[in-house]
Amino acid sequence: MNSFNPTGDMERIKLRKSTATAKGGQAFLRLLDLAETHESGQIHRIAAFIAATYNGEAFTLNLYELRAVDEAIGDDMLLCIDALRWGQADLHTLVPDGDRRVKAVIEKWGLKWPEAQ
């Protein structure tokens, strides 16, 4: 029988949030490193994913892209999505010089910001 334990539930959620954020930050760093240093069709998908995590309104993500990447890359993307779900931090803030690096990846891979309306 489950009993309601507000303190235990809050601690469990707090631990889950911090774990997801830490794992998501590590995964985001691996993906960012790939986008900065490698060249392939998969890397363009990674760059698009990174851009979508940076600004989801400007750069939309087709979730079917997860099917077109290697297993380890897809797993890292899912870790990032889990971190975003908990909303503790924007992923680019979890890596050194993240804002500049993400903007450079967006530029390097020719991803276009929407025109101002």
Give the pLDDT confidence of 55-108 residue by residue, as tens digits: 999 999 999 999 999 999 999 999 999 999 998 899 999 999 999 999 999 999
The answer, yes or no, to whether residue 116 has pLDDT greater than 70, is no
The Cα–Cα gap between 15 and 62 comes to: 30
Q: What is the pTM of this model?
A: 0.89
Of all residues in the chain, the percent with pLDDT exceeding 90 is 85
- CB count within 10 Å of CB 73 equals 20
| Structure confidence at residue 3 as a pLDDT band (50, 70, 90) | low
- Whole-number Cα distances in Å, 84 to 26, 30, 88, 91, 107: 13, 16, 7, 7, 23
Of all residues in the chain, the percent with pLDDT exceeding 70 is 95
